[in-house]
Structure 1
Amino acid sequence: MSNDNITLSIGEARLSGWTRLRVTRGIERFPGDFELEMTELFPGQAQDVVASPGDKCVLQIGGESVITGYVDRVVPSISAESHDIRVTGRGKCQDLLDCAAVWPNGQMSNVNAYTMAKQLAAVYDIDVICDLEGLLMIPQINIIPGESTYEVVERTARYSALLVYEDRSGNMVLARAGTEVMASGVQEGINIEAATAERSMDQRFSHVTALLTGTNNMQDLTSITAPHFTATDPNVPRRRERVIFAEAGELGWEVGKQRALWEVAWRRGRAEVIHVTVDNWRDVEGNLWEPNKLIDVLIPSLKVSGDQAGTVPQRLMIAEVSYSLDESGTHAQLTLMPPEAFEPKPILLYPQYGDLVGTVPLR
């Protein structure tokens, strides 16, 4: 890791010499954030750190940007043994999370998740990246007073099965579950320092029922004859019911199915979460571990494999990655989940009128 120098750029200044680092990014963590710490190696070193809360900054590892955003806090401290300084910050998208969504009259018409997000994010001078076409058009969106831009986008993106996260450049990204595979994986006895398999049932339900809350049911006869949709999880061993509201609006009732199927898939994916700590920030080709990419995992001792014999790797999604540096060296903590947690089944949507059905694939 001799080439993975850590630098924090603020204006023309490039600050290095950090003794502790934590950078965390994820496809369900919005925005990315970092924490840096320096202990003086010689008198006055910590005072050379020119950083103030609110400064624009770019954090780089080995010359690659990992966070583009702002300094949140600067915390100098002293004791009899040392002088320290700690700097924390988050990506540019923090303004979309912290601040209220701003739009005239609080109502948007004839938009999809991307066009809506782009207009709302532009208020805070943030770009939105989305390379998908044919997203579901939404006749009307009402912004709840005090609701943040992220909250508006996230609840709307559910109906197009989109993930909402921040990239290294501080842009908001709308994307589906990734299909790109890292050049190497993680394997017991090779590069895994520690691992935990978290399997649970307490947040899963045998049946998730979505109730319609549309305002023009006469355009959709199904919403009158069957005003709900129930998605099932066959791997829940006993009866456990959950009811949610599907804010389908004028889209037609079938769009509520996607909300229920997403809920089941979301909970199923989080019922098997693998946490691993590896000894390197990069794969064998030198790529930093990246959220929304697939990785092959083989941990026979924890029954994490693609076969019962424990010889074939299981392909999982990197949901979150933390790069860390401390007295024990460099480490990467990866949170891994099944790809299905982010990829609901294709469903039927009503393009405009509830009784005109067309298949809309998720890919």
Structure 2
Amino acid sequence: MSDMDNRVTLTVNNLEYGGWKSVEITADLERQFRTFKLDITWQWPGQTVDQRIKPGDPCEVKIGNDLVLTGYVFKAPIRYDGRQIGLTIEGSSRTQDLVDCAATNRPNQWQEQPLLSIVQALAMEYSLMVVNQIPETARLAKHTIVPGETVFQSIDRLLSLFRVFSTDDEQGRLVLAKPGSGGRASDALELGKNILSANAPMDHSQVFSEYRVIGQQKGSDKKSGAAVSEVESTAADLSFKRRRTTIINEGTALTFELAQQRAQWESATRMGRAQTTTYQVQGWRQSNGDLWRHNTLVKVTDPVLGFDGDMLISKVTYSLSAQGSVTTLQVAPPHTFDPDPTPPKKKQA
């Protein structure tokens, strides 16, 4: 594999920039935009700096011939001393605008619309396309923008209700993601072979024995009153030994079916998140030449942590420093991201 396969280039205003001394590029299934940070230094006196990259410039980031990010430059700080000049370029995917900017749709309410239609309308206010990987959802009785909320805050209320994750792709589009849609990694993660390090917090602070979802459902001419409008459903985690109850108050119209599905999803996904583990491997590419990618399944063999099976790569970071190139992979049990999870039976304590 040649050095050109791993050469990081930043294209701004049809000009291509390379030769970066340090690199950090991150994509995350649970974050709406990818990010990058690139550093370069010049020795001076003797070299001049023509800073043509400015905050707000549209950009593309590639590793070799692989496009990994389409978005904008957000920061371009420059620093110097008596010996050298340093330039850092930071930016993110186009979808950051959905996280930062207000939802301004008029009218600001939808009735009897499916999830995809509402998300597309919200994103289109900022000229962003939506890629849909999930089955068609039930129609939502009503969704109203809360004054002052951002586009993603409004979208996230819908995603939580229908147990859907959203992320971005390399073209800067919003993706309603199907877990594992990136396919399967060619290489496995194996202790003693390619794993450089591991970090498993095993944090159960957000795991409970009982999950209650409460909300309101839409009444009708024939049915009204508290007995009809109030919705509550419960799911229990029988593996948890002591009583710990959490209540999730949905702020939108709810049905008993959606409440039950949400409660079961919370139970399964929170236990999955408690097993989230971060691995590091050398290089950015697998043995077949493909980049390590997020939202892909990978076989993990790690007797220290008790893993021997498929995990989902939820986050990937490509980094370059004086120590070389490293990929950091965050993995979790696949059911953690499934909208209708069925947790596997435990094989370890």
TM-score, with length taken from structure 1: 0.87
1:127 to 109, 129, 139: 129
- 1:84-143 CA-partner distances (Å, limit 9, x unpaired): 100100100011000001211321223222111111111111100004342221132110
> Could you tell me which residue of structure 2 aligns to residue 326 of structure 1?
321
Task: Decide whether the 8 Å contact of 2:143 with 2:252 is kept in 1.
Answer: no
Q: Percent identity?
A: 29
> Could you tell me which residue of structure 2 aligns to residue 2 of structure 1?
3
Q: 1:46 to 1:112 in 2, by over 3 A?
A: farther
Q: Give 2:3's aligned amino acid.
A: S
Q: 1:226 to 1:87 in 2, by over 3 A?
A: closer
Q: 1:121 to 1:227 in 2, by over 3 A?
A: closer
* Residues in 2 aligned to 1:226 and 1:213: alpha-carbon distance in whole angstroms: 5
The CA deviation at 1:223 is 6.0
* Residues in 2 aligned to 1:122 and 1:248: alpha-carbon distance in whole angstroms: 22
Does residue 332 of structure 2 align to residue 337 of structure 1? yes
Q: Give 2:320's aligned amino acid.
A: L
> Could you tell me which residue of structure 1 aligns to residue 212 of structure 2?
209
Q: Secondary structure, in 3 states, of the residue corresponding to 1:284?
A: coil
Q: Secondary structure, in 3 states, of the residue corresponding to 2:34?
A: strand
> Could you tell me which residue of structure 1 aligns to residue 246 of structure 2?
242
> Could you tell me which residue of structure 1 aligns to residue 80 of structure 2?
78
Q: Secondary structure, in 3 states, of the residue corresponding to 1:202?
A: coil
Task: Decide whether the 8 Å contact of 1:196 with 1:302 is kept in 2.
Answer: no
> Could you tell me which residue of structure 1 aligns to residue 118 of structure 2?
116
1:261 to 241, 264, 278: 264
* Residues in 2 aligned to 1:114 and 1:230: alpha-carbon distance in whole angstroms: 27
Q: Secondary structure, in 3 states, of the residue corresponding to 1:87?
A: strand
TM-score, with length taken from structure 2: 0.90
Q: 1:225 to 1:134 in 2, by over 3 A?
A: closer
* Residues in 1 aligned to 2:262 and 2:82: alpha-carbon distance in whole angstroms: 57
> Could you tell me which residue of structure 2 aligns to residue 228 of structure 1?
232
> Could you tell me which residue of structure 2 aligns to residue 188 of structure 1?
191
The CA deviation at 1:42 is 6.7
Q: 1:287 to 1:229 in 2, by over 3 A?
A: same
Task: Decide whether the 8 Å contact of 1:20 with 1:38 is kept in 2.
Answer: yes
* Residues in 2 aligned to 1:223 and 1:186: alpha-carbon distance in whole angstroms: 52
Does residue 142 of structure 2 align to residue 140 of structure 1? yes
Q: Give 2:258's aligned amino acid.
A: V
> Could you tell me which residue of structure 2 aligns to residue 359 of structure 1?
none
Q: 1:346 to 1:34 in 2, by over 3 A?
A: closer
Does residue 176 of structure 2 align to residue 177 of structure 1? no
Task: Decide whether the 8 Å contact of 2:43 with 2:85 is kept in 1.
Answer: no
Task: Decide whether the 8 Å contact of 1:108 with 1:142 is kept in 2.
Answer: yes
* Residues in 2 aligned to 1:45 and 1:122: alpha-carbon distance in whole angstroms: 45
Task: Decide whether the 8 Å contact of 2:218 with 2:229 is kept in 1.
Answer: no
Q: Give 1:2's aligned amino acid.
A: D
* Residues in 2 aligned to 1:252 and 1:145: alpha-carbon distance in whole angstroms: 25
> Could you tell me which residue of structure 1 aligns to residue 345 of structure 2?
none
* Residues in 2 aligned to 1:334 and 1:107: alpha-carbon distance in whole angstroms: 39
Does residue 290 of structure 2 align to residue 287 of structure 1? yes
Task: Decide whether the 8 Å contact of 1:24 with 1:34 is kept in 2.
Answer: yes
* Residues in 2 aligned to 1:228 and 1:105: alpha-carbon distance in whole angstroms: 30
> Could you tell me which residue of structure 1 aligns to residue 201 of structure 2?
198
Does residue 60 of structure 2 align to residue 58 of structure 1? yes
* Residues in 2 aligned to 1:204 and 1:109: alpha-carbon distance in whole angstroms: 34
Task: Decide whether the 8 Å contact of 1:24 with 1:323 is kept in 2.
Answer: yes
* Residues in 1 aligned to 2:98 and 2:331: alpha-carbon distance in whole angstroms: 26
Task: Decide whether the 8 Å contact of 2:142 with 2:252 is kept in 1.
Answer: no
Q: Give 2:104's aligned amino acid.
A: V
> Could you tell me which residue of structure 2 aligns to residue 34 of structure 1?
36
- 1:235-292 CA-partner distances (Å, limit 9, x unpaired): 222110111113451x532211222222222311111111111002122222211111
* Residues in 1 aligned to 2:318 and 2:227: alpha-carbon distance in whole angstroms: 48
* Residues in 2 aligned to 1:141 and 1:55: alpha-carbon distance in whole angstroms: 34
Q: Secondary structure, in 3 states, of the residue corresponding to 1:40?
A: strand
* Residues in 2 aligned to 1:193 and 1:148: alpha-carbon distance in whole angstroms: 39
> Could you tell me which residue of structure 1 aligns to residue 94 of structure 2?
92
Task: Decide whether the 8 Å contact of 2:200 with 2:276 is kept in 1.
Answer: yes
* Unmatched 5+ stretches in structure 2: 343-349
Task: Decide whether the 8 Å contact of 1:20 with 1:326 is kept in 2.
Answer: yes
